[in-house]
Each structure stands twice: as C-alpha cells, then as structure tokens.
Amino acid sequence: MHMLAEQILQKDIRALARAITYVENDHEDKLALMSDLYPATGKARCIGITGAPGAGKSTFVNRLIDYLRSLDLRVAVCAIDPTSPFSGGAILGDRVRMAKHFTDPKVFIRSMGTRGSLGGLSRTTKDVIKIMDAFGFDVILIETVGVGQSELDIMKVADTTAVVVTPGSGDVIQVFKAGIMEIADLFVINKADLPGVGPLHAQINAMLDLAKDHEAWRPPVKRVSAAKNEGIAEFWAACEAHAAYLLESGEGMKRRRRNKEREILEIIQDEASRRIEQFFIEEKEHIAASSLDPYTLAARLVDKWFQNQEKEIMQKNGEL
C-alpha cells in the first residue's frame, strides 16, 4: 500500500493535506494512491451547497459546521471557486470567517481554485472528496457557486444537494435557467431575516409544482438565516429525511452506481489523453516535417498510436 494511503487511514492530517496536493498536481502516484484509498470510501455523507455569489453559502456552511460539531460529527469542507486562481488554503474572507474551526482537529477545510487542478477542477474535486471520505470524515460539505457545467457535474457526486436562494435577488429565474432544478434535493431560502421571503417561498413552490409534481421526492424548502444562526437544525433534519428517502427508495444506490460509472469513464478518458499527449510529444518532429493536412495527418497518427498500443501489449504478453 502507498505510504500516504496508510498514513491517511491512520488519520494523519498532514498526510491528508499532502495527498490532496498530489491530486491537484496530478502526481504520478495519484492513481495508485486513489486505488489504495478506495476501499475505505463510501461512508461519508456528502452534502452539496450551491447558489449564486453572495447568497451566504459560506456563512451558512460555517453555521452548519458548528451544528454538526455539536452532534460530534467530523466535518470536511471543500469550497470550490472556479473564478479563483487560488487553491490550497481558504479564500481570504472564508478564512477569517472559519478561523475558529482551524484549531478543531475534527474539522478540515479546503478551498479549490482552478490553479493546482491539472486534471481539471471537477476531476480533482471528486478525488479530494474521496480522500476526505477515506480519512473518516462523517460529513463532507461541498460549497460551489452555482454557475457552470463543471460545478453541476461536481454536485452530482453529492448525496444531497441544497440550492441556496435569497429574497429579492431574482434567483428563482436563475434556478430555472441553469438546469439546477435537476440537481436540487432541497431549497434553502437564506437571509430569511430580510423582507420578501413569503413571495420567494411561493415562487419556489409554484416552480416545484411544475417541475417535481410527479417525482417521488419533492424538494423541501427551508427558511434559514445564517447570519442569525436560525433554521440550521431544521435544515439538517431535512438532509436526514432525504438520506432516509435515498436509502428506502433505492435511489441512493442508483446514484452511487451512476457516479461510479461516470467516474470510470472519466478516469479512462484522463489516462487515454495523458498517453496520447505523450505520444504526440514523441511524434513532434515527424508532425513538423509532414506536408499532410491536419485531418489526414491526425487520422494517420491515431492509426499509428493504436498499432503502437497493440505492439506494446503483445510485447508485454511475450508474443513478440
């Protein structure tokens, strides 16, 4: 077993941080490490929290950490900001806000930006979540700004996804537009201390009547004030209810199976593209010297690549 994997399973927090760096840097040991950790995964509850910039996600996450710690659960947070070039530590505002948790060994907070995600932010994040899971956190909170495709993709790994909206922001239209409806298991009206909560709640209900009327799970709508620390326990109760639904309906198993399939495809694509790039570099002189048009040349290179692969396999099997 990889040494880092062993240390992680023994709850060495420094090894956890180092393993995450391995994943971010696409270290050559990454696949071996992930494969060693895999048997220890699948135990954590993964909660996605998404919403427009400034909706209060980080404030909410911070309150949720407090609440989960009061239940003596170990909590990891993965905060994803695709617009930020920074990763590693926490983004400045969040760092200040979450500072008190930094001394708690049962809380681990990691921010992910585009830099240091050589394998792509979505891929990297999924591996980071697996490492956190293997380490033994009970709950993993994933915070993302709900905009792009890659974040929708990340949210699919969550067992429960909460969409945070706020009064007076026009969020509801965004929710409809961005295809967030498909991934929403729960709605959080944050900033419920501000005016306009009633109409927003009614709007969400109307939207759910349209989109989720025939579904087995109708996403509950929870009013929260992260600023005032209100509604957090009720939110967690709704997460628990969703977890029970996932278990009883078999939907949870289905989701995990679907995720695993998607993940295998991604790993294959990753590995294939890595090898093809290597091949491309080896062929560079050849390519530069060629007078063929790019399409014909590319088609020939693909053929050559496959032939090389075949040869390699035969050599490995002792057939050549």
Ligand X SMILES: Nc1nc2c(ncn2[C@@H]2O[C@H](COP(=O)(O)OP(=O)(O)OP(=O)(O)O)[C@@H](O)[C@H]2O)c(=O)[nH]1
**Is the Cβ of residue 46 or residue 98 nearer to ligand X in the bound state?**
98
For residue 71, give both structure tokens.
């239940």
Stretch that binds ligand X, among 2-10, 101-109, 224-232, 244-252 (CB under 6 A): 224-232
| Nearest approach, Cβ of residue 116 and ligand X (Å) | 19
Is residue 90 within the footprint of ligand X (CB under 6 A)?
no
Q: Which does 145 bind (CB under 5 to 8 A by kind): Mg ion, ligand X, none?
A: ligand X
Burial of 28 (0-12, 13-18, 19+ CB in 10 A): exposed
- In sequence order, what are the residues at sequence separation of 6 or more whose Cβ sits closer than 8 angstroms to the Cβ of residue 41? 130, 133, 134
Q: Cα(198)–Cα(33) distance, rounded to whole angstroms?
A: 50
Residue from 39, 54, 168, 198 touching ligand X (CB under 6 A): that is 54
Estimate to the nearest angstrom the gap between the alpha carbon of 144 and the chain centroid.
Answer: 8
Burial of 204 (0-12, 13-18, 19+ CB in 10 A): buried
Q: Which does 54 bind (CB under 5 to 8 A by kind): ligand X, Mg ion, none?
A: ligand X
Q: Cα(109)–Cα(315) distance, rounded to whole angstroms?
A: 47
Nearest residue to the partner ligand X, using Cβ: 56
Q: Are 194 and 230 in contact (CB under 8 A)?
A: no
For residue 3, give both structure tokens.
């040494």
- In sequence order, what are the residues at sequence separation of 6 or more whose Cβ sits closer than 8 angstroms to the Cβ of residue 309? none
Q: Are 117 and 87 in contact (CB under 8 A)?
A: yes
Residue from 50, 122, 161, 225 touching ligand X (CB under 6 A): that is 225
Q: Are 38 and 126 in contact (CB under 8 A)?
A: no
Stretch that binds ligand X, among 13-21, 82-90, 220-228, 305-313 (CB under 6 A): 220-228
Is residue 53 within the footprint of ligand X (CB under 6 A)?
yes
Residue from 5, 46, 58, 146 touching Mg ion (CB under 5 A): that is 58
Task: Give the residue carrying structure tokens 């509850």.
Answer: 45
**Is the Cβ of residue 119 or residue 231 nearer to ligand X in the bound state?**
231
Q: Which does 66 bind (CB under 5 to 8 A by kind): ligand X, Mg ion, none?
A: none
Stretch that binds ligand X, among 4-12, 55-63, 246-254, 283-291 (CB under 6 A): 55-63
**Is the Cβ of residue 124 or residue 166 nearer to ligand X in the bound state?**
166
Is residue 111 within the footprint of Mg ion (CB under 5 A)?
no
Stretch that binds Mg ion, among 55-63, 166-174, 244-252, 283-291 (CB under 5 A): 55-63
Q: Cα(194)–Cα(188) distance, rounded to whole angstroms?
A: 14
Site residues, ligand X (CB under 6 A) = 51, 53-59, 93, 145, 190-191, 193-194, 225-227
Site residues, Mg ion (CB under 5 A) = 57-58
